[in-house]
Amino acid sequence: MIRLRFAPSPTGFLHVGGARTALFNWLYARKNNGSFIIRIEDTDTQRSTKEYEKNILEALKWLGLTWDEGPDINGEFGPYRQSERLDIYKKYAQQLVNEKKAYYVIFDDKNNEIQKQYTYPEEYIEKGYSFVIKFSVPKEGKTKFYDFLKGEMEFENKYFDDFIIIKSNGYPTYNFAVVIDDHLMKITHVFRGEDHLSNTPKQIMIYNSFNWELPIFMHIPLILGDDRTPLSKRHGGTSVNFFKENGFLSDALLNYLAILGWSVEEEVFNVFEKIKEFEPSKISNKSVVFDYKKLEWINGQHLRNKPIREIVNAFLDYLKSENYIVPNHTEDYIENVIKICREKINTLQQLFDISYPFFHEDYKYEENYVKKFLLKPEATSILTLAIDELSKLELFSIEEIEKVLRNISSKLNLGTKKVFQTIRGAVLGKLVTPGLFESMYVLGKKRTLERLNKTLLFRENYEI
Ligand code: GLU
């Protein structure tokens, strides 16, 4: 049985690097009909918070990276938490002490090491002294393991010092807890960031000291910013939340994270349909640069390629989660608006901006529109003529609207660009919108005429 895990430390929001690690683990588990589990590594009591834990779990759910087991919390699988397993780590540390593979180190109140021993330091504890448990690193030989991407890895033991496995607050260190848990949870493959490569030999030493079988490791090269340092806030938003709030689709983000390292033929795809093709050996052993523009482009592809209902739902969810006003128009109307608007944009945030005037009467005239078109002397005749001619239309169709607008341009002897932009800004407030005739058609005759009249009035009352 193939079993993988994602083991985040709740010391920050879920970073896209973490999300990619989770994705590769999840993909491999799903491909092999194995299990994927979540383990919260909250042994750093100073930096771990419940808020970060909640954010990480919600971000994983939003991405659709579901897990298969864990303690029952209201009928759902909760995560495993290291802070709830302290007795287990102590028991295994004690076993190593009994076998003289680890020992107690006692500190006085000035934090000086005063004693090392194999017996439980009862008498010192009574005096209020603290202790840790340290692992005895073999003094000779080599520690070896096989990495999926990097092949055979070898480290000389003599370069390692004995290291702490149980801290003075009774919590295990990361390197100890991770081994105990991966063993007890029967993890077969450990895929994680390359930043952990230097920890792995210490973990292997612990596996070896228990005579436990090793999982297969894969250390994935890090995601870098454009200056080739690890991607961080200095480069821009890095949390899954950031991308959610800025109107990215979870499927598009997953798609982009998948191709950040995994070389697969197509660029745009649904990860859920590519599970069977996932091949860890096709992950590049080179660092990759996070390209915000590319991600936005991929998001645009998903926005345009998915069934319109799916995008409408994603859009409405987005408005709710960002506390924007949700339009109360008919489903058909919303669908028609989104259909024409999505051709022009790449994110749900941009979709919100461009579709705003279709849903709200309080849309604003862009400054550029007012200066370059609305306040020009010919604007009055363009708008007046448009109102006259459009109100005569019996059939308010895209073709008829187009004919009317082109006629205005020849009648007034003005370029079509001038005429179209003057009308575009009048009905939508903006100069970049979906196709003008389609937009007017979607708005309908009544609202189009109301808006042209309103704009004319606005112009008359405009004080310079
Ligand atoms: N808690 C570690 C981290 O967040 C997990 C590393 C591992 O997967 O072993 O980096």
85-220 and 367-463 agree in CATH topology: no
Q: Which of 81, 192, 204, 220 to mutate to test the pocket of ligand 1 (most atoms within 8 A of CB)?
A: 192
**Alpha-carbon distances of 449 from 355, 373, 452, rounded to whole Å:** 19, 18, 5
- For residue 234, pLDDT beyond 80: yes
Ligand 1 atom closest to the CA of 5, numbered from 1: 8
| pLDDT tens, position by position, 288-313 | 999 999 999 999 999 999 999 999 99
Ligand 1 atom closest to the CA of 199, numbered from 1: 9
Q: Does the domain spanning 3-83+223-289 belong to CATH 3.40.50.300?
A: no
Q: Measured in angstroms, how far is the CA atom of residue 174 from the centroid of ligand 1?
A: 8
| pLDDT tens, position by position, 403-433 | 999 999 999 999 999 999 999 999 999 999 9
Q: Which of 367, 247, 266, 270 is nearest to 316 (CA)?
A: 247
- For residue 53, pLDDT beyond 80: yes
Q: What is the pLDDT of residue 377?
A: 95
Q: Which of 147, 306, 285, 290 is nearest to 227 (CA)?
A: 290
Q: Measured in angstroms, how far is the CA atom of residue 125 from the centroid of ligand 1?
A: 32
Q: Measured in angstroms, how far is the CA atom of residue 428 from the centroid of ligand 1?
A: 50
% of residues, the chain, pLDDT over 90: 98
Give dist(CA 329, CA 448) in Å, integer: 16
- For residue 324, pLDDT beyond 80: yes
Q: Measured in angstroms, how far is the CA atom of residue 331 from the centroid of ligand 1?
A: 45
Give dist(CA 88, CA 98) in Å, integer: 15
Amino acid at 401: I
Domain positions in the chain are 3-83+223-289, 85-220, 306-359, 367-463
Q: Does the domain spanning 367-463 belong to CATH 2.60.40.10?
A: no
| pLDDT tens, position by position, 58-98 | 999 999 999 999 999 999 999 999 999 999 999 999 999 99
| pLDDT tens, position by position, 246-266 | 999 999 999 999 999 998 889
Q: Residues lining ligand 1, judged by CB closer than 6 Å?
A: 7-9, 41, 178, 192, 196
Ligand 1 atom closest to the CA of 41, numbered from 1: 1
* 366 SS3 class: coil
pTM: 0.94
Q: Which of 196, 198, 218 to mutate to test the pocket of ligand 1 (most atoms within 8 A of CB)?
A: 196
Which residues are registered as beta bridge partners of 107?
113, 130
The topology (CATH level 3) of 306-359 is Helicase, Ruva Protein; domain 3 (1.10.8)
Q: Measured in angstroms, how far is the CA atom of residue 175 from the centroid of ligand 1?
A: 9
Q: What is the pLDDT of residue 272?
A: 97
Q: Which of 4, 6, 9, 55 to mutate to test the pocket of ligand 1 (most atoms within 8 A of CB)?
A: 9
Give dist(CA 219, CA 196) in Å, integer: 7
Give dist(CA 277, CA 100) in Å, integer: 47
Amino acid at 290: F
Ligand 1 atom closest to the CA of 18, numbered from 1: 4
The topology (CATH level 3) of 85-220 is Glutamyl-tRNA Synthetase; domain 3 (3.90.800)
Give dist(CA 443, CA 425) in Å, integer: 14
| pLDDT tens, position by position, 374-398 | 999 999 999 999 999 999 999 999 9
What is the helix (H) or strand (E) element at residue 349, kind and residue range? helix 348-359
Phi-psi region of 363 (alpha: psi -120 to 50; beta: other; left: phi over 0): beta
- For residue 464, pLDDT beyond 70: no
- For residue 463, pLDDT beyond 90: no
Q: Does 233 qualify as catalytic in the annotation?
A: yes
- For residue 109, pLDDT beyond 90: no
Give dist(CA 201, CA 141) in Å, integer: 12
Ligand 1 atom closest to the CA of 182, numbered from 1: 9
Q: Mention every residue, 6+ apart, whose C-beta is less than 8 A from residue 70.
A: 37, 38, 77, 78, 79, 80
Answer yes or no: are the C-beta atoms of 423 and 436 closer than 8 Å.
yes
Answer yes or no: are the C-beta atoms of 406 and 399 closer than 8 Å.
no
In the block, tokens 């100890």 appear at 176
Q: Measured in angstroms, how far is the CA atom of residue 9 from the centroid of ligand 1?
A: 7
pLDDT, the chain, mean: 97
Q: What is the pLDDT of residue 9?
A: 98
* 392 SS3 class: helix
Which residue is catalytic, options 233, 371, 417, 446?
Answer: 233
